[in-house]
Structure 1
Amino acid sequence: MTTTTSSRSTGVGRVLIAVYGLLALAATGRSVFQLFDDFDRAPVAYSLSALAAVVYIVATVALIMPGDVWYRVAWITIGFELLGVLVVGLLSIFDPVLFPAKTVWSMFGRGYGFVPLVLPILGMLWLYRHRARPTAAASAEPRAV
């Protein structure tokens, strides 16, 4: 079956990729500083900041790259991001002792203007709207019974 993959890096997709790129830079900078400067103070929180940075980097690359494999990688990383924001956000509210220092995803990304909470939702909507669709030639191919 032949499919066409619409470009995810045009129009609004460019803005989405730019925001992911900015968050990747911000989260990477924050986590590197936290890990080297004061890791003993909050190892879980600082490790989560580093994990968030990796997720944002992979999501940015996956949104830029064409193809079905990168499309799936984008879904996986953005889905993981949403899950991370929700879990860490809830835990940071209901059990703040777990997070003596802020992370990118603490309080649902409040330190980043709640962008970490909204961005994966927008990313998933964008991916859904730009999913691969079968071409006319693929739907005209005889099916094996």
Structure 2
Amino acid sequence: MGVHHHAHHAGQDLVAAARHALERAGEQWTGMRQSVFEALTGFDRPASAYDIAEEVSKRQGRRVAANSVYRILDLFVGANLVRRVESANAYVANEHPDCLHDCIFLVCDSCGQTTHIDDDSIASNVRGAAAKTGFAPERPVIEVHGRCSDCAEG
């Protein structure tokens, strides 16, 4: 297996890919859901539901509750549109919502930059180790904390 290579979507192409993935999951792509997704993609690092609610509120000129954003984000995570960085309680857009992979995040403790990588052999080993104990893993998330290349050089 090893590292998986695929095209990463960006900009409006990413929004379109997310919309198609959500509709394939049997859900509607509403204006509010699009606003939340677009706000999330505007951040250069993982964003909290509060960050996203504030951004959507600014764009719409009305207050949007973080609880509403949380519900949409939960839906997006379930449909593989968004990944949750557990340790930060924050979210990143999945640049390839048409591929299903376990999450491996490289989290910089200095600047907060988070990089998502796919390595099916690592994910397979984690799932296998869990299964050996009788545990049924559903959505493994691996986070590696350290310093990104920019911060490590500084």
Q: Fold match, TM over 0.5? A: no
Higher strand share: 2
Q: TM-score under structure 1 normalisation?
A: 0.30
If you compute each CA radius of gyration, which structure gives the higher value, 1 or 2? 1
Higher helix share: 1
